[in-house]
Structure 1
């Protein structure tokens, strides 16, 4: 099964709040358009040219290499608009808790071409979000337990300290620069999500991701509205004293082409881009499928990131069906979170029923576990029953895969062409960014 249906003109869950926010953003492009490099460059320079940035320091928050984005095109336009105007210009790579990008990867990622970043972007410094170093962070406030209870719709009741990379606070303006896609934790990525979890402390990461897990990925992913997790990170972002602006883009998945770009504050620019993403990154099937073969691109270098090949397909898999993550290049489950190897992958109810056993594990790790394992039930008498089988066809050893409570398939046995001819299998090339739903 190889056909890829197109999205209908209107996706489910349209939010009036998001539509109202989007009206405050400047937008170029739309779901059916592909912008030229000249159009993008002109838009960025014009929008930033009209912004109050003269003599002010600017921290540009950008994604790491796990997102499709023509970052060199965008960053060159930003640098062209701000060099000589901004008193200081810093690029901060929003790793979340991903591995740091080294010099060569950063140069390729940001557009250093054949030279150095210093040559390509004179006067601009580039830093990774060093989340492993406590000195990276500054506390900007606390969200009370009562407010968390309100934001989470009663699911959680505990206060949270709001910490983030001090570079954001030590600049006059924070400019988010990056793409918007359907997202398993927050609904749609982008906007204030580049602060939380992009450059935030573990506290908000754990709380927000576990809140998403309690709601479940299948229910929250691709929701257009202000989800409880989006409301939480918006509240956290409101504590940042820095002025917050955003250039949000909607990328044609697996390419550097842009459907649209928006500019405004971090809420309005995100809302405008999310509406376009809902039309371009969500596609529909008429009936559930028995098996999915998610072919994962090289930008995902462990299962922690390649799990998006499951998140984006879970909604269209039939009960008792299977998702195969095909990624021979991946050799480990997580480069940065060894705890996942210890607890393995389980449904939400598995952890809730044994909370005393798991409550001290980072909640972000627990959330990732539930997101990849998908829907299921657990009780002490009957054990765990999972709706969908998850199979790894990767370079990870079989014993490691099975110990993590996942199925194993020898990647050398995978014949993609044969799967494409199988009427029971839905093959998704370049999986991880486009969300599939049932009509």
Structure 2
């Protein structure tokens, strides 16, 4: 039996709307009950805790709709290369309990996690990237996805620094993918630059790359794509369809919901980071989402005193440091053997800039950390430092040249 998914996606809600829990529950149940899933095995791919999303509400509705109807139900947490979630963290994040359901972390650090789906040729990568990259993409994916008949993505859509808007097939790549395609896709985004790609509607080159990788997945692919009210458990909209049509519908709502426009640039932004970002690897979203509104020579301060390390799972960033794209390319012989995903993170946080052998590196915006990371570590990484213990947010709130953003990291800020 084949899965029947609405084309175009079915959608409930929209910009400016707030859905009730009852409306969300009914939409999820109705969508899944008519999707042709009876007797099939289903792998539900969900985000980790670094995104705003009422996941317990959604998963309870999924569980109710599918229990007794599907042959097997598994929940797979799309960590990408983030830290493993503990049992207590999973319980809080997912809700439940869900009798008869297997819950898995994406164990990206284990080679036997993956199956090889094939290769996207160097020639095709060159076409997709408009000539920026000519390297084959080895496509490896968590075996749990391909060992189920159906892969059901459940998660939010936000503006994203690598792909344009998150969601859809991005939950496979990089969510539960192997290192090779993660590195290639992130470095392609870095070559384009975060400021150029973030919040870009439609198919960016990185989106095209991950959609082509997803086409190699033998399982049927469906998605419940949601547009969350940032920092809350409320939803503006929810869409159901295949992983492309559902994402497109949610991304259109996200573009009207998650982007704030300013009339002129500001000299300084203070991003107050919520606790869901536990290192700079994730808290760097406080820079990505505001870089476009900062004046040349301005500053972004990331305030997160509970953060004590740059990257829990990627300590090599301490040696690489943070540099603009042109600096990395100018020192390619030094960096080419590092994980390209780490290099991409380096350039994304340092932002736009230039480098040449005579004048050195000149970045457009200063980046300052007011965190629990030691000053020597911060400065060695080519970032500015502020002591968080003496940080007075009211001083910045009273400064007309400074924009203070609470719950930073999800809402993109742009100039009109």
Is TM-score (shorter-chain normalized) higher than 0.5? yes
Distance 1:182 1:24 in 2: 22
2:297 is aligned, of 317, 320, 334, to 320
1:94 is aligned, of 62, 71, 78, to 78
Residue correspondences, number? 412
Equivalent residue, structure 1, for 2:108: 131
Equivalent residue, structure 1, for 2:324: 347
Distance 1:285 1:414 in 2: 26
Equivalent residue, structure 2, for 1:169: 146
1:182-222 superposed Cα distances (whole Å, 9 cap, x missing partner):
00000000000000000000011000000000000000000
Please say if 1:333 is aligned against 2:310: yes
Equivalent residue, structure 1, for 2:343: 366
Q: Shift in Å at residue 23 of structure 1?
A: 6.1
Equivalent residue, structure 1, for 2:99: 122
Q: Structure with the greater relative contact order (CA < 8 A, sep ≥ 6): 1 or 2?
A: 1
Local SS of the residue matching 1:278: helix
Please say if 1:413 is aligned against 2:397: no
Equivalent residue, structure 1, for 2:381: 404
Please say if 1:186 is aligned against 2:195: no
Which consecutive aligned stretches of 4+ in structure 1 deviate over 2 angstroms post-superposition?
none
Distance 1:153 1:268 in 2: 25
1:335-383 superposed Cα distances (whole Å, 9 cap, x missing partner):
0001100110000000111111111010000000000000000011111
- Map 1:183-332 → 2, pairs under 5 A: 183-332=160-309
Equivalent residue, structure 2, for 1:8: none
Distance 1:197 1:23 in 2: 25
Please say if 1:59 is aligned against 2:36: no
Local SS of the residue matching 1:60: strand
User: Any conservation in 2 of the 1:346–1:370 contact (CA below 8 Å)?
Assistant: yes
**RMSD of equivalent CA atoms:** 1.0
Q: Shift in Å at residue 61 of structure 1?
A: 0.1
Equivalent residue, structure 2, for 1:38: 22
1:376-408 superposed Cα distances (whole Å, 9 cap, x missing partner):
000111110010000000000000000000000
User: Any conservation in 2 of the 1:23–1:272 contact (CA below 8 Å)?
Assistant: no
Equivalent residue, structure 2, for 1:117: none
Equivalent residue, structure 2, for 1:5: none
- TM-score, structure 2 normalization: 0.98
1:247-305 superposed Cα distances (whole Å, 9 cap, x missing partner):
00000000010000000000000000000000000010000000000000000000000
Please say if 1:160 is aligned against 2:137: yes
Instruction: Indicate how the Cα distance of structure 1 residues 320 and 23 shifts in structure 2: closer, same or farther if over 3 A, else same.
Output: farther
Please say if 1:103 is aligned against 2:80: no
Q: Shift in Å at residue 418 of structure 1?
A: 2.1
